[in-house]
């Protein structure tokens, strides 16, 4: 508490917290997250001393980190996820061969919905189809 009063530590209000989902990947372990924090010294003001950091839940740590370093941390996590997924695709040979014309038609198709929604919404009265 005295650290907050003295200004050496900072706090976030509940409405300032942003949430992020971090998968359980080898490249996103707490050790890797702590290495990221070492490159951003300004975020250390929002966390307890290093000895106490291991006692905190991983989800709390990443939520506070995402709230403080929104763009940088989000980009870092996305890059880690994409590189891990590429590695898995190559290791397990998950790529499929597709005719370039079929791939172009699939990419340009307007019949494929990428929006999140529920199919039951189409059954409601007044829904445009």
Sequence ranges of the domains in the chain = 2-111
Q: Which 8-state DSSP code applies to residue 54?
A: T
Four-residue CA torsion sign, 95, 101, 102, 108? positive
The full DSSP string for 52-112 is: HHTTS-HHHHHHHHHHHSHHHHHHHHHHHHHHHHHHHHHHTT------HHHHHHHHH-SSS
pLDDT digits (tens, 9 = 90+) for 12-46: 888 888 999 999 999 999 999 999 999 988 888 88
**pTM higher than the cut 0.75:** no
Per-residue tokens: 82: 């994409």
pLDDT digits (tens, 9 = 90+) for 71-111: 899 999 999 999 999 999 889 888 788 888 988 887 787 66
């Amino acid at each position: 508490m005295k650290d907050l009063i003295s200004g050496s530590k900072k706090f976030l209000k509940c409405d300032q917290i942003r949430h992020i989902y971090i998968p359980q990947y080898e490249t996103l372990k707490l050790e890797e997250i702590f290495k990221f924090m070492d490159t951003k010294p300004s975020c250390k003001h929002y966390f307890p001393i290093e000895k106490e950091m291991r006692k905190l839940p991983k989800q709390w740590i990443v939520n506070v980190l995402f709230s403080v370093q929104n763009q940088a941390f989000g980009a870092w996590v996305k890059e880690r996820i994409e590189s891990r997924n590429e590695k898995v695709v190559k290791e397990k040979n998950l790529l499929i061969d597709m005719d370039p014309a079929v791939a172009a038609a699939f990419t340009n198709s307007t019949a494929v919905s990428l929006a999140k929604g529920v199919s039951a919404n189409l059954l409601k009265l007044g829904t445009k189809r």
